Structure 1
Amino acid sequence: MEMGPGIPRMCPCGALTVLLTSKTKENPGRRFYRCGVVFGENHLFKWADEAFVEELEVLAAKQTEMENGMVEIKEQLLDFKKDLTEIIEVVAAFSKHLRK
C-alpha cells in the first residue's frame, strides 16, 4: 500500500493510527504504526523508526524552504527601503521647490 512520508496519522480507510510495540521474535520491542481498527492487507502498517526518519526529512525540507523564503523577503524589504528612500528624496525636492 502506498502512503506518504512521515508519521502516519490516519489509515487510508479513515481510521486513526495507533502506535504499538512488536513482540515478534524478528523485531522484539520495535515500535510500529498500524490502523487503529483493522489489521491486515489494505490497512496501514509502518515501522515507527522509519516514519520518524521520514518525518525529520520532511521537516528539514520545509525548514529549508522557509529559510529560502525569508531570504527572498529580506531582499524585497531592502528593495522597498531603497524605493522609500528615493520617494522621500523626491518629495523633499518638490517640497523645497514649492517653498521658493
Structure 2
Amino acid sequence: MSNESGNSSGTSVSRVRGRVVGVPKRCWCGELVVSLMSKSAANPYRRYYRCAFAVERKLSNDNHTYKWVDEALVDEIEALTCRISRLEHTILAESVEEKKKKLAELEMKLEVEVFARV
C-alpha cells in the first residue's frame, strides 16, 4: 500500500500531469484507477483512488493518480452544480426568446385585426 494514504492532503494532483477534477477514470500513464481503503493510523478505512500500475508495483511518492474518494465526489458535485446552473441559464434564455417570439406574433395578429377593422 502507498504510504501516501496517511497524508491528509492527498489531493488529486498528479504532479506531472496536473489536477484531476472529479472521479478519476484513468491515470496519466493510461492505466485504470482502482478504489482502495487506507490502512494508515492517520486515515483508517478512508477510501481513495489510485493508479493500478502504482498499486501493482507498490510505488509511493510518485506522480501517478492518487485521490481521496470523498474529495473526488465533492469535486464531481461541484462540477455538476456548475453544469446544472449553465443549463438552467440556457433554458431560461430559450424560454424568454420563445415568449418574445410569441408576443411578436400576437402583436402582428392584433395589428392585422386592427387594420382590417379600420
TM-score after normalising by structure 1: 0.80
Number of residue pairs aligned between Structure 1 and Structure 2: 96
Q: Does 1:70 align with 2:106?
A: no
Q: Distance in 1 between matches of 2:68 and 2:34?
A: 12
Identity rate, percent: 35
Structure with greater contact order relative to length (CA < 8 Å, sep ≥ 6): 2
Q: Does 1:17 align with 2:53?
A: no
Shift of 1:88: 4.1
Q: Does 1:59 align with 2:59?
A: no
Q: Does 1:37 align with 2:49?
A: no
Gaps of 5+ in 2: 1-14
**What amino acid sits opposite 1:65 in the alignment?**
R
Shift of 1:76: 0.6
Larger Rg: 1
Aligned-residue CA RMSD in angstroms? 2.1
Gaps of 5+ in 1: none
